[in-house]
Structures are given as structure tokens and as C-alpha cells.
Amino acid sequence: MLLQVDNLVKTFGGIRAVDNLSFEIESGSIVSLVGPNGSGKTTVFNLITGFLKPDSGTILFNNTRISSKPPHSIARAGVGRTFQNIRLFSQLSVLDNIMLAFKYGTGENFFNGLFQTRNMKAKEGKSRKRAEELLHLIGLSEKMDVLAETLSHGNKKLLELARILALDPEIFLLDEPLSGLFPEKRVQMLNHLKELNRNGKTIILIEHDINVVMSIAKRIIVLGSGTKIACGSPEEIKANKNVLSAYLGKAIL
């Protein structure tokens, strides 16, 4: 198992945002996390990526416990995420946004910068080339030098994806990557996700559009009030009564 979440609990004041949640993610799969608004999907992402500390429970990634590590070490270990409300480096160029995400190792060391070492320049040159390739792949080559904040909403979403591609994690936690996208851009984004998966990357996807979820995900986890109310293949979920009642309410008999 690539990712194992065990009995995760997170409370905000009196609200149990995540309540005894357990699930496992297999390497190379696409799993979709669905649920009504406020069901704790984003909180689960924040817990996995270390931006929130769980009250109890453990998270194992590649059999290493990551639930007590700071966000940057979790990201370096191979867990990448995007944000529901896009978080770009607004006043940096599109190219810089991507170059910032690479793992430079020693190239980004203070002293390498101070003395402008050859090592740093070589790494910088390499990553610039790689960044240009990524921008080409994502279709933003022409916007390379503009500030990220000037991009359209759709392009911002694509840039956020490109940025996480630069980070090159093992598992991608994507928080509503399709929301607010023009149909053409949705198709483009979905193709990128499928391509990623073909290359062996694992994806956890938060998505509200149930058609998209059914078409792309191999497995679906349904959350309701912080607990797992259903889990299984798209067909199983469609037939599940709990899911229907969570979304539409229970029939009064």
C-alpha cells in the first residue's frame, strides 16, 4: 500500500471534521474522494499533507509514518497537492512558479546562491529546460514570462498542475482540479490526469462532478460528516443506499 490512513480524527472545537476515518490507496490507482460540502474532504488532504495535525490516528506513506512531519518534508517524501482555492506565486512569472517547485537539492542552498557557483548554474539551466518542457506540455509556453496573477482562471489551474508535475511526487492529491473550467479545458485537464496515471502515478481526486468521477476513478471513497459512508468501484457506489441518502436526504416513511 502506498498510503494508509488509520483511524484518523480531527476536531475543530466541537465539530468532528474527520471522524475515525480509515482507508488505503494502492500504488498506481486513481481514487476519488467525494462527499457533500463540509464532509471533510479538504481536511483529509490537509491532514495527509501535514498542514493540519491529526488529533489521533496515523498516516503511513510508503510504510513510513508521516502524520507528525512538517508539510515540506511530506512534500519532499513524495506527496504533492494542489489547492481548492488556487495558490500560485502570484507576483512571480509563470516560469518561476514552475522552477520553484523542482527539487534542486544543493542548488538552492544559500551559499550556492551567495557565490553563484557553477553547480547552481548548471542545475538552474537544467531545470529551466525542464520547466519549458512542462509548460509546453501543459500548453502555456507563450505565457512563460507573464506574472502568474495575470492568467485566466483555467490557465491558473493548469499552471498549478504543471507546478505539481515539476515537484514530481509519487502521489498527487488534487483538490477540485476541474472546478470552474471551460469544457475544452476540462477535457485537457482530464487528459493530463489520465496520462499521469498511465505513467504509474497515483492520484487522489476530490471532485464534485459525478460523471467525471465515474469515468476516471477506479475506486471511490464517499465521505459524509467526516466518516467514510461508502467505498468501492463506481458501480458499487451507484447502487449504494447510504450514498443516496447522504446526498439527497433520507425518505420519511
81 lies in the site for another protein, by CB under 8 A = yes
CB of 156 to another protein, least distance (A): 12
How many Å apart are CA 57 and CA 117, to the nearest integer? 45
Q: CA–CA separation, 193 vs 172, rounded Å? A: 10
d(CA 245, CA 70): 37
Q: What does each C-alpha distance from 193 to 34, 107, 124, 237, 238 come to in angstroms?
A: 17, 30, 27, 22, 23
Does 130 bind another protein (CB under 8 A)? Our answer is: no
**Shortest approach of another protein to residue 15 CB, angstroms?**
22
Taking CB under 8 A as the rule, does residue 132 contact another protein?
no
Strand locations in the chain (E): 3-12, 15-25, 30-34, 56-61, 64-65, 79-81, 171-175, 202-206, 219-224, 227-232
Q: How far is the CB of 11 from another protein (least distance, A)?
A: 21
Q: Check residue 112 for interaction with another protein (CB under 8 A).
A: yes
Of 142, 186, 195, whose CA–CA distance to 165 is shortest? 195
Nearer to another protein, 23 or 102 (CB): 102
Write out the three cell numbers for 195: 496520462
Among 1, 113, 142, 233, binds another protein (CB under 8 A): 113
CB 157 within 8 A of CB 193: no
Supply 214's cell numbers: 465515474
Of these, 1, 27, 65, 103, which contacts another protein (CB under 8 A)? 103
151 touches 98 (CB < 8 A):
no
User: 113 vs 180, which CB is nearer to another protein?
Assistant: 113
109 vs 197, beta carbon nearer another protein = 109
Applying the rule CB under 8 A, the residues between 155 and 214 that interact with another protein are: 163, 167
Question: Is 104 near another protein (CB under 8 A)?
Answer: yes
Residue of 91, 152, 215, 233 that binds another protein (CB under 8 A):
91
Binding footprint of another protein on the chain (CB under 8 A): 49, 51, 70-73, 75-76, 80-81, 83, 87-92, 96, 99-101, 103-104, 107-110, 112-116, 120, 123-124, 163, 167
